[in-house]
Each structure stands twice: as structure tokens, then as C-alpha cells.
Amino acid sequence: MRLLALLLFTCLMISCSNKKSEYPHILIQTNFGDIEAELYPAKAPKTVAAFLAYIDKDFYKNVTFYRVLKDEEMPTDNNSGLIQGGVWPNLKSVPGLEHESTKQTALSHTDGTISMARTTVGSATTEFFICIGDQTSLDAGRSGTKDSLGFAAFGKVIHGMSVIRKIQATKSNGDQFTEKIKIKNIKRS
């Protein structure tokens, strides 16, 4: 009887520890290692839906991180900025996304936040960036964009910030990596 009770307790504990997250997860596979992130469809539904559709259409197979913002004088562990990637310069023909600002979503550009890159409102397509350190100046109502509407945050890295910091520390010329960093694939996990 004790053995049966112990077996049932063990099975219950295993099933409780294997619960799926309420958020969709993605895996960004790079030649530096993997980055796992969760996305927030309840807060940024249109942005998350578009990003997942791009993943499902294999847009992010064999693309790159090509842009970096960092302080050249800061050590890697303390540096802040961002890395940007996507299908550029081999842009796929996709319509621009409706802008979901951080004012609407209540998300903020803090360490590990994933956000859509854009030039003007409604121009975001397949390009995204990951924040390293506090980048709240990129939120709506702040000074990070000319129109003060900020960028559309839609997820957060939950594993792999050390990979992101290694990528950021890679040699660059201005805001461009000297050699683009390969994204092997982005997939749902």
C-alpha cells in the first residue's frame, strides 16, 4: 500500500511539474547557442500573430542578426543596447503591421524584451530586436522615436541572455556586425 501511495504521489508531482506555459514559446537557434522567449498574445495580439505566422512560413530560416547597439567602452556583462535581426536585406513581401504601442500593451523595453523594428508607424514587418539592459526610452511617450510612439514590444527572453550578450560583444563597425550572426532558425517550442 505504501508503494502504491508513493508511486501515485510521484506521478502527481511529475505531471504537475510538466505543465505547459500559458504563453507561446519560441526558440531562436544561432551559431552562438539557443535563445528561448515567451510571447504575450493577450497584450500584443496582432504583433504576436504576425510573428508566429512568419515563423510558420519559415521566414526565419538562415537569416541573421545584423545590427547592434552597444557602448564599445563597456565590459560585456554590463553593456546595454540591443541586437536586431530578421530577413533584411532579403526582405520578403509582407504588409506592415498595425502598431501596438507599449501604451496599449503595458509592456516595456526592459532587459530581454523582444520588439518589432520599424521606421514609421505601420512599417514593421519581419525585423525584430532584443533589448539588452533598460531600453525604456523605446517605450511610447519617450524619446526613442521621432514620433514618440515607441516600438511594439511583444515578448521576453526567458533563457539565453548570455547568448545575446556574446552576440552583442561580437566585433562590429558602427551599428553593423562585421560578420552577420547566423540565425539558423526560429521555431515554436
The three cell numbers of residue 21 are 506555459
pTM confidence score? 0.86
In angstroms, the CA 146 to CA 148 distance is 6
pLDDT digits (tens, 9 = 90+) for 30-68: 999 999 999 999 999 999 999 999 999 999 999 999 999
Residues for the chain: how many in total? 189
In angstroms, the CA 124 to CA 99 distance is 8
pLDDT digits (tens, 9 = 90+) for 133-145: 999 999 999 887 7
Fold of 23-188: Cyclophilin (2.40.100)
Element (H, E) at 52: helix 45-56
- The end-to-end CA distance of the chain, in Å, is 39
* Residue 173 phi, psi (nearest 5): -120, 105
In angstroms, the CA 114 to CA 44 distance is 12
